[in-house]
Structure 1
Amino acid sequence: MSTLEAPGARLYYETHGSGPVMVLITGAPGVADVYRALIPHLAPQHTVVVYDRRGFSRSHLDGPQDYDRRLETDADDARRLIEHLSADPVIVFGASSGATVALELLARHPSVVRTLIPYEPPALRLLPDGDKWADVFSEVYDLYMREGIEPAMKAFREQTFAPSDHQHMARAPRNDANAAYWFEHELRQYPPAPVDLAALAPHAGRVIPAAGRRSQGRPCYEATVELGRHLARDVVELPGGHIGFITDVPVFATELMPTFAHVAQ
């Protein structure tokens, strides 16, 4: 459990295990604890790095923030953390908006990424009905402003994710400060952010798009399919839905490991 100084923030991170470095980038709620159950399945063969993204929980902001460039800053934070911990390129797994950050990382800083597994990025601009989903997320934000966190989160999960995810999401410990930060700076900003396909294309061979089997037909699954199509990469289906790494941990880990086994030698 350590901190890394970055411009405008102090990043909290943890390392577990030994072996090739694997960095896990979280989406909502932005904290390392999202991967707590997955870590023991990966750490026997990897040095697993988890961290709170800036502005969430233990990664405190330190000075003014450029929220117009927040995604770029998130990617730069990941780059700084990787360079701090490894002299070699690493495996990166990012889920949900963490996958959005991971894709930005590869586009901007390809030298630090050996293999990238973007798991269900909410890349709405890749979808034919992406504008509709952007409107849905804006309506969820409006609901948050009118009625508060819980009604908005309920609407968000019920409209966006498979029913198998809903119960766990509803039971998850709530941190109102993290939720408010996510509503203000991520819900409406990250899903419609453009994916730089031109920058990713030269590195497409490093990308393993992945999605949960129970997410079929949901926007993040379909965005992953579109990402794979644009990069000429097959989508790997893993157990569970959008949060299969929480709801179906043992089988999720068992099926995840072979996707990057060739880089762990």
Structure 2
Amino acid sequence: MTSPTIGRLRVDGATLRYEVRGSGPLLLLIPGGAGDAASFDGVADELAVDHTVASYDPRGLSRSPLDDPQARQWVAQHADDAFRLLELLSPDTPAYVVGCSSGAIVALDLLTTHPERIARVVAHEPPVVEVLPDATEHRALLARVQDTFHRDGLMPAVAEFAAGLRRPGAEDPVEAGAATELPPQAAARAERTMANMPYFLGRIVPSFMAYAPDVDRLKALSERLVLAGGADSRGELPYRPAAFLAERFGTELVHFPGGHTGLSTHPAEFGELLRKVLSA
């Protein structure tokens, strides 16, 4: 893997660590969940053939510390961070943006607030559950997860959250996979991800999954928006908002290899399709 150039950007209340590789139009990659810039390691080199690829650790995660470690988190603030990176790395030219999971929520907000800075957004399974007809049920799930987190601790809450995202009867991908010894770089990434989990579950999940996007605004901008889902995650909760919005906008829902975490489980195929989507 090509070694990226590392930079740091001061934003309101945090310092962002970002990585840049390649040349061409800017492509900003926004990680989701408890992941960081390394979430895109498996695809970044391939994407850098056509683009200047920038990925980063969102505020409060891994190597992007908050000034106030207890600060509340908001989608709009995270989207403004992404905008600041666009202004720094591509001040004169609209950029391409790819977001996965909670990173896709940030990408949607960025598109609605700064459309003039965006050439195209690919949003892979943004869990904007507030757009769904059964949003009340998912609010109840999130409330239960937070209760479990504060009462019983991290891992029981993670298990309850993961169960609520899956289709009924679906296999737990963590329990299904055999334990393997990771190479040092992957082990370091896994260690950072686990260290990020309390922050993600306690402060990202409640505010991000309560976020209601401006659906009318997104529809007006839908020619610049590619909604995507995992080929193996049909019917699961993170998949459903993308499918719902694509149907409402009359646009294609692009299916990427794997499930919600296809970026990690099928990186070569994921990256190949992503290049095609960005160049279409």
Alpha-carbon contact 2:60-2:69 (below 8 Å) kept:
no
TM-score (norm 2): 0.86
Alpha-carbon contact 2:74-2:207 (below 8 Å) kept:
no
Moved more, 250-259 or 47-56: 250-259
Equivalents in 1 of 2:128, 2:173: separation in Å? 19
Question: Runs of 4 or more off by more than 6 Å in structure 1?
Answer: none
What letter matches 1:173 in structure 2?
A
What residue is the counterpart of 1:8 in the other structure? Answer: 13
Equivalents in 2 of 1:30, 1:158: separation in Å? 19
Residue 115 (structure 2) aligned to one of 102, 110, 113: 110
Residue 155 (structure 2) aligned to one of 150, 155, 171: 150
**Percent identity of paired positions between Structure 1 and Structure 2:** 35
Deviations 1:54-74 (A, max 9, x none): 11111111259873x721110
TM-score (norm 1): 0.91
Deviations 1:177-201 (A, max 9, x none): 4211112211121112111112223
Equivalents in 2 of 1:249, 1:7: separation in Å? 33
Alpha-carbon contact 1:134-1:188 (below 8 Å) kept:
no
How do 1:72-151 and structure 2 match up within 5 A?
72-86=76-90, 87-151=92-156
Deviations 1:153-199 (A, max 9, x none): 2222233146474356x988244542111122111211121111122
What letter matches 1:84 in structure 2?
L
Task: Provide the secondary structure at the position in 2 that maps to 1:157.
Answer: helix
What residue is the counterpart of 2:183 in the other structure? Answer: none
Task: Provide the secondary structure at the position in 1 that maps to 2:276.
Answer: helix
Alpha-carbon contact 1:27-1:96 (below 8 Å) kept:
yes
What letter matches 2:127 in structure 1?
P
Equivalents in 2 of 1:158, 1:37: separation in Å? 27
Alpha-carbon contact 2:57-2:64 (below 8 Å) kept:
yes
Alpha-carbon contact 1:9-1:60 (below 8 Å) kept:
yes
Deviations 1:31-79 (A, max 9, x none): 1111121212212222111001111111111259873x72111010000
Indicate whether 1:210 and 2:228 are aligned.
Answer: yes
What residue is the counterpart of 1:192 in the other structure? Answer: 210
Equivalents in 2 of 1:93, 1:164: separation in Å? 27
Equivalents in 2 of 1:241, 1:149: separation in Å? 24
Equivalents in 2 of 1:33, 1:80: separation in Å? 20
What letter matches 2:122 in structure 1?
I
RMSD: 2.2
Task: Provide the secondary structure at the position in 2 that maps to 1:38.
Answer: helix
Alpha-carbon contact 2:26-2:52 (below 8 Å) kept:
yes
Number of aligned positions between the proteins: 261
